[in-house]
């Protein structure tokens, strides 16, 4: 027997766990500058880093509270949910993934929609929620987006969609991709009637969402440094075998190349939306 076979592997001493009375969830680390910020401070700043101006992602309800007048939002379609049309299963079943998303977000789907007022002007609003399966667009989300636009057409009011999505939901296959055509058709009816549609692009807005209703606004607004595009930058670099320019697919790059009309800081977002609503509907 060789001498090395008789050696035993050294055992690492486990560090003792120290108990602390400090509650968890009081702080958040900025992914941009690395500063540690109190959650209460971030709430005061509307989830914008006070050190580097980085915009953290908002939930659908936080977004509604940010832009809609207090007490005016009336939601609809909250009970709509997918029926797992393809019986999809990968490492987990689609039903399991949906249940996990329900528990995490409290929503039956990744999009919130309803009617509300912005500085006294009524609007039809849809807000995508990245917390629900990456804000992916399935049959229910497509139905809600189209319904918001159709409701705006019925009431002769502006339609606003806050986009935040990783793209079409693969678990629903072609049925998900069909929502690109459905939402684009509803948007065209608004255009034919001369009613305004404003798209707000937040981080991220990608895939089938970016290739359909997200880029079809009469005005396309974006938050600073939001990732916006169809395929991701890594996929594009591997496909064309070229290094992409710095800041490629960020909202500043898209504004420079004419894909975005204006970049709006979150603190000025409600005022900016009100400005365009008053232009279209004086």
- HEC states along the chain? CCHHHHCCCCCCCCCCCCCCCCCCCCEEECCCCCCEEEHHHHHHCCCECCCCCCECCCCHHHHHHHHCCCCCCEECCCCCCCCCCCCCECCCEHHHHHHHHHHHHCCCCCEEEEEEEECCEEEEEEEECCCCHHHCECHHHHHHHHHHHHHHHHHCCCEEEEEEECCECHHHHHHHHHHHHHHHHHHHHHHHCCCCEEEEEEEEEEHHHHCCHHHCCCEEEECCCCEEECCCHHHHHHHHCCCCCCCCCEHHHHHHCCCCCEECCHHHHHHHHHHHHHHHCC
Per-residue pLDDT band at 104 (split at 50, 70, 90): confident
Predicted structure pTM score: 0.89
Residue 200 has pLDDT above 50, yes or no: yes
CA 140 to chain centre: 16
| d(C-alpha 123, C-alpha 134), whole Å | 26
Strands 197-206 and 159-165: parallel
Residue 22 has pLDDT above 50, yes or no: no
pLDDT of residue 106: 81
pLDDT tens readout for residues 144-171? 999 999 999 999 999 999 999 999 999 9
- Which range among 24-33, 104-113, 215-224, 230-239 has the greatest average pLDDT? 215-224
pLDDT of residue 15: 47
- The answer to whether 253 and 245 are in contact (CB under 8 A) is yes
Per-residue pLDDT band at 118 (split at 50, 70, 90): very high
In this prediction, residues 116-142 reach a mean pLDDT of 96
Per-residue pLDDT band at 248 (split at 50, 70, 90): very high
């Amino acid at each position: 027997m060789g001498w090395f076979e008789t050696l035993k592997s050294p055992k690492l001493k486990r560090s003792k766990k120290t108990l602390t009375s400090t509650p968890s969830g009081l702080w958040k680390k900025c992914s941009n500058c690395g500063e540690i910020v109190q959650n209460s401070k971030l709430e005061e700043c509307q989830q914008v880093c006070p050190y580097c101006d980085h915009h953290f992602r908002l939930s659908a309800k936080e977004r509604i509270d940010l832009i809609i007048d207090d007490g005016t939002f009336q939601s609809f379609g909250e009970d709509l949910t997918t029926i797992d049309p393809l019986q999809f299963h990968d490492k987990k079943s689609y039903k399991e993934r949906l249940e996990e998303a329900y528990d995490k977000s409290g929503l039956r789907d990744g999009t919130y929609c309803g009617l509300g007022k912005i500085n006294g002007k009524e609007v039809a609003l849809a807000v995508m929620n990245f917390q629900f399966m990456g804000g992916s667009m399935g049959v229910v989300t497509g139905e809600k987006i189209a319904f918001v636009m159709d409701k705006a057409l019925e009431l002769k009011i502006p339609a606003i969609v806050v986009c935040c999505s990783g793209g079409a939901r693969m678990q629903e296959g072609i049925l998900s991709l069909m929502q690109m055509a459905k939402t684009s058709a509803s948007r065209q009816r608004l255009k034919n009637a001369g009613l305004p549609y404003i798209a707000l692009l937040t981080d991220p807005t990608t895939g089938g969402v970016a290739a359909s209703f997200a880029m079809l606004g009469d005005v396309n607004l974006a938050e600073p440094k939001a990732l916006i595009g169809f395929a991701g930058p890594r996929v594009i670099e591997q496909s064309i075998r070229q290094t992409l320019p710095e800041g490629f697919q960020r909202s500043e790059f898209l504004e420079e190349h004419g894909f975005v009309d204006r970049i709006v800081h979150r603190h000025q977002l409600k005022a900016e939306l009100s400005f365009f609503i008053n232009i279209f509907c004086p």
